[in-house]
Amino acid sequence: MLTGYSKVLILGCGTCVTVCMAGGEKEVGILASTLRLANRKEGRSVAIDEATIERQCDREFFDTVRDRISNADAVLSMACGVGVQFLAEVFPDTIVLPGLDTKFYGATVGQGVWAERCSGCGSCVIADFGGICPVTRCSKGLLNGPCGGSQNGKCEVDPKGTDCGWQLIYDRMKKLGQLSKLETVTPLKDWSTTRFGGPGTIVKEDALP
């Protein structure tokens, strides 16, 4: 992606991608050093600038690097897909390239481990299921009760690692005294508007304790 550009700014993001050690100041520095070494080895003259701002999804945080962005031939954004697109929107005359491959919205469940909790599909139904999303937490995205494949609270897709989303929903609704809510039939969602395939997990091996 960077071929042909002589001035490149690698722009990190100080929030989500920093927490999951994917695109913060440290990762920007590592990537910048790697690119400088590669360019030197290949005999390419490329000026690599590096910066990290608080967030790339809020306009005001770009103020501190506005000149550096404008002076670059291309900006390699280390933010999530939202940040990359917003950066391109705020700077319409600047070539903006993605440095990461955004996969999901996750929560920290342990050191170096993030588990998916939302698919960003719209028309949120979490309120009807005790704060647990059946679209994401059920590997089949079932909205009106479990399938027959789970055993001992685990999903047949991954019997050793993935909890049955509907077992989680049932247990929580029972604890809250709201099991009767599950008798209401939930209208089907338009699956063409959402990514499908069940909850995912990212593990960064070198960050594990």
Domain identity same for 132 and 194: yes
pLDDT for position 194:
52
Domain identity same for 19 and 73: yes
pLDDT for position 200:
66
Domain identity same for 113 and 150: yes
pLDDT for position 199:
62
Q: Into how many domains does the chain fold?
A: 2
Q: Which of 41, 76, 98 is the last residue of a domain?
A: 98
The total of other beta-carbon atoms located within 10 Å of residue 1's CB is: 11
Is 1 part of a structural domain of the chain? no
What the block records as the tokens of 156 is 């047949």
Domain identity same for 91 and 115: no
The CATH code of the domain that includes 40 is 3.40.50
Domain identity same for 92 and 112: no
Query: Could you tell me the residue range of the domain that residue 64 belongs to?
Result: 7-98
Domain identity same for 91 and 153: no
What the block records as the tokens of 59 is 């306009």
Tell me, yes or no, if the pTM score tops 0.85. Answer: no
Residues of the chain scoring pLDDT < 50: none
What's the gap between Cα 176 and its chain centre?
30
- HSE toward the beta carbon, residue 58, CA cutoff 13 A: 9
**Buried b / exposed e across 14-30, counting CB within 10 Å, b at 16+?**
bbbbbebebbbbebbee
Domain identity same for 111 and 67: no
DSSP 154: B
Is 39 part of a structural domain of the chain? yes
pLDDT for position 163:
93
pLDDT for position 155:
94
Domain identity same for 77 and 144: no
Between CA 7 and CA 73 the distance in angstroms is 5
Is 24 part of a structural domain of the chain? yes
Between CA 183 and CA 30 the distance in angstroms is 53
Domain identity same for 120 and 194: yes
What the block records as the tokens of 74 is 């291309």
Is 90 part of a structural domain of the chain? yes
